[in-house]
Amino acid sequence: MVDDSEFDYISWIKEQTKHGKNVLVGIGDDASVIDIGSGRKLVVTTDTVIEGVHCRLEDGAVLIGRKSLAVSISDLAAMGCPADYCVIAATLTKDTPRDFADDIYRGIRTIADVYKVDLVGGDVTTGKGPLSITTTVFGIAEGLEPVLRTGSQVGDAICVTGSLGGSLRGKHLRFEPRLTAGIELNRTFQVTSMIDISDGLVQDLAHLIEHRAFHGADIFAEAVPVSDDARALEADDGKSALEHALHDGEDFELCFTCSETVAQALVEGGVCGVSVSRIGTITDSGAIRLLKKGEAPSILSPDGYVHRFGQDG
Amino acid sequence: MVDDSEFDYISWIKEQTKHGKNVLVGIGDDASVIDIGSGRKLVVTTDTVIEGVHCRLEDGAVLIGRKSLAVSISDLAAMGCPADYCVIAATLTKDTPRDFADDIYRGIRTIADVYKVDLVGGDVTTGKGPLSITTTVFGIAEGLEPVLRTGSQVGDAICVTGSLGGSLRGKHLRFEPRLTAGIELNRTFQVTSMIDISDGLVQDLAHLIEHRAFHGADIFAEAVPVSDDARALEADDGKSALEHALHDGEDFELCFTCSETVAQALVEGGVCGVSVSRIGTITDSGAIRLLKKGEAPSILSPDGYVHRFGQDG
């Protein structure tokens, strides 16, 4: 299946699938939400990290293990909900040395321990390769309403945590999932919608406006927090640092919407030690536009940048 | 990693991993059990089905999809607990045709619909191959104590559902997970321990006695329910039908222990339309022995038969 058709396939699956009454959020958000009674919700996400697509063996087993769990924790961060437990299915190969396998576990534990995710079970399979790890992370939300992708209103401020672009230089392996910040944004700051940036800012932001045909977003070019990695890549590949910040994937920062007042408070004070930038506004233009001082607005197409090693060099 | 070391690896992981107080069963049973309060327990399992190990492309997408979910449902059956929700991570390849991908979903749905498992989310990745599908299934047990591998006592009867052996002839793809029977065995029949037969009767039975060093099991050769498939294989490969029944994997029948009285009732009446055979007794011999009329007992080593296509022909 070619890359773009993954999205078509998921849309088709979503259309085919009906959920029971306890399923509050099904296919199509960062995580699913199930009403488990007594005012509590089970929030669950699953993600696969595969050698040759999301990591390379040369990255080392510890960082591969770490990333495999971090990406799922990041999905629960994007729901503003805790990540309490995980189960992990690892597919190793006949050539995987035992100490490499041990280091995968150690990498998983480094991040599980920091974010207090309890590894409760798993499965180990040996295949022909490539190596792949599927993590399923779930949290129990009590007194906390999961933040969906569909809550933004025209006029909401658009914000992001941290800085963006160039994650391929190392952040895609070493990033801190914004779990504490995500929960705090939910609990204290009434954010209206949220997503983690895995496919690129513009592509992921598109998911925050697609629930209304007329919804659009204006991004203020000068306000986008361009990372040092994005600047370093600009020097290498000629694509501007801003383009890297807009389209590079796997920064795993949070992109969210909120009121103007909340945005101002967050820009001033950050959240849980993480900086927040207010980068734009939800509009009724039906498009994502880039506003640059002294230039006419340009339309951004939401084709993110997806890391792909191996086949593509 | 060579095949046998998977078990060593999992044992090592189990030793390294400490669980929080809400984790009632962690790594090492068919599923994990988490106390979610109000007298309810979340029971969760994850499993990977991978092309070349558990299935072949020639088996067809529908049966591959079906099997990927059926194996996880079978794990919850072995806990005697319901299978309510699932998330599925599918790793396709660039060569996977879209209609093949659609048929994987259709296969998943055929079994999800029968067992009323709600598909609440997932992840789709495209890798270099082979195709693999990881399913994570959750159930919420209320008023139902999950059946563990560790509850058998010396003197308990050993029983199995259905018939055993030769699943490679097709049952390994088409089996019905014994979910209704498993729940009923738990709810009504006070079974003391249970496991599903994925690696072979002897190998899986070994997991029901390993919690006590002196525990053993006597199997009555004439009582083992040998399947027609096992007999058919005997004609082909010279291994006896009984050997197939004792060691072939992927029958996904239930093996459980209970009192003599319960065993007798189950053998007479079956459970939820499934036949039950009483095949042996838990002993204090520390070994698994095969008792055959007119012969001296023989010791069975618990090396099951694992389906492996591809590399091994």
pLDDT for A79-116, tens place per residue?
A: 999 999 999 999 999 899 999 999 999 999 999 999 99
CB-nearest to A127 from B47, B52, B98 is B52
Q: What percent of chain A has pLDDT over 90?
A: 88
B110 touches chain A (CB under 8 A): no
Best of A45, A57, A87, A312 to mutate (most B CBs within 10 Å, chain B):
A87
CATH 3.90.650.10-classified regions of chain A:
157-299
CB proximity list for A113: less than 8 A, separation 6 or greater: none
- Please provide the CATH number assigned to the domain covering A14-142: 3.30.1330.10
Q: Is the dihedral of CA B306, B307, B312, B313 positive or negative?
A: positive
Q: Which of residues 224-253 of A touch B (CB under 8 A)?
A: none
CATH fold of B15-142 reads 60s Ribosomal Protein L30; Chain: A; (3.30.1330)
Of the pLDDT bands very low, low, confident and very high (cuts 50, 70, 90), residue B307 is very low
A261 touches chain B (CB under 8 A): no
- For the packed helices B61-79 and B98-115, what is the interaxial angle rounded to 10 degrees? 30
The reported pLDDT for the residue numbered B310 is: 38
Q: Is the pLDDT of residue A313 over 80?
A: no
A21 touches chain B (CB under 8 A): no
The reported pLDDT for the residue numbered B2 is: 61
- From A48's Cα to the closest Cα of chain B, the distance in A is 7
Give the whole-angstrom CA distance, residue A62 versus residue B67: 32
- State both tokens at B110: 């055929």
- For the packed helices A98-114 and B5-16, what is the interaxial angle rounded to 10 degrees? 30
Asked if the Cβ–Cβ distance from B17 to A119 is below 8 Å, we say: yes
How is chain B split among helix, strand and coil, in percent rounded to 5?
35, 30, 40
Q: Looking at residue A129, what DSSP letter applies?
A: S
Q: Is the pLDDT of residue A267 over 50?
A: yes
Higher-pLDDT residue of A233, B307: A233
Q: Which of residues 81-100 of A touch B (CB under 8 A)?
A: 85, 87-89, 91-94, 96-98
- Please provide the CATH number assigned to the domain covering A157-299: 3.90.650.10
Asked if the Cβ–Cβ distance from A136 to B12 is below 8 Å, we say: no
Beta strands in chain B (DSSP E): 23-25, 32-35, 40-50, 85-93, 118-127, 132-142, 157-161, 193-196, 216-220, 254-258, 276-283, 288-291, 298-299
CB-nearest to B46 from A3, A87, A92 is A87
Of the pLDDT bands very low, low, confident and very high (cuts 50, 70, 90), residue A206 is very high
Q: pLDDT digits over A112-158, tens only?
A: 999 999 999 999 999 888 999 999 999 999 999 999 999 999 999 99
CB proximity list for A103: less than 8 A, separation 6 or greater: A60, A61, A62, A65
B40-53: b or e for each residue (b if 16 or more CB lie within 10 Å)? bbbbbbbbbbbbbb
Q: Is the pLDDT of residue A312 over 70?
A: no
Q: pLDDT digits over B254-293, tens only?
A: 999 999 999 999 999 999 999 999 999 999 999 999 999 9
A32 touches chain B (CB under 8 A): yes
- Please provide the CATH number assigned to the domain covering B157-308: 3.90.650.10
Q: What percent of chain B has pLDDT over 90?
A: 88
What mean pLDDT value characterizes chain B? 93
Task: Report angle CA B23, B25, B29 to the nearest 5 degrees.
Answer: 150
CATH 3.90.650.10-classified regions of chain B:
157-308
Q: Is the pLDDT of residue B296 over 50?
A: yes
B42 touches chain A (CB under 8 A): yes
The reported pLDDT for the residue numbered B305 is: 39
The reported pLDDT for the residue numbered B311 is: 35
